Amino acid sequence: MIKKILTEDFIRTKVSCSDWKEAIHEGILPLLEKSYVEKSYEEAILRNFEKHGTYMVIAPGMVLSHARPEDGVNKLGMSLINLEEGVPFGHDLHDPVYLVITLATTDNTIHLEALKELMGILMDTEKYETLLHSKDKEEILAV
């Protein structure tokens, strides 16, 4: 499932961001450019951070940004960017963030298989480090 939705077009490496809001924007940009999501989806993600805090920072150095399907998702998709330098999100344990994965799902269940696969990858330290720091899209896709 993850190989179907996370393709080379949705991966960017060594992106520079000045703060967490810019990191969220850069993470969602590939999905916006391909019309998988609307601008309202980004706005919903930012509102969720401001309202609920840093719950989307799910692992050391990684944020899984997302909002609800009705917040502007047109098509199931996922993007991955890694950052040139870590950006603080305000999380006590997992800052700074180097990896922004943005998930756009059209309903509340279709994405579960992709999330399961992603969690398997994140639990493998070597693969996780590749996602965090690789400059090579092919290497990231191989993971």
Cβ-based neighbour number of residue 60 at 10 Å = 16
Q: Could you give the CA distance from residue 93 to residue 75 in angstroms, rounded to a whole number?
A: 33
Confirm whether 66 is a catalytic residue.
yes
Q: Which of 66, 91, 94, 111 is catalytic?
A: 66
Q: How far apart are CA 22 and CA 142, in angstroms?
A: 27
Let me know how many helices (H) and strands (E) the chain has, helices first: 6, 5
Q: Identify which of 52, 135, 67, 58 has the alpha carbon closest to the alpha carbon of residue 102.
A: 67
User: How many other C-beta atoms lie within 10 A of the C-beta of residue 18?
Assistant: 9
Residues in a beta bridge with 98: none
**Residues tagged active-site:** 66
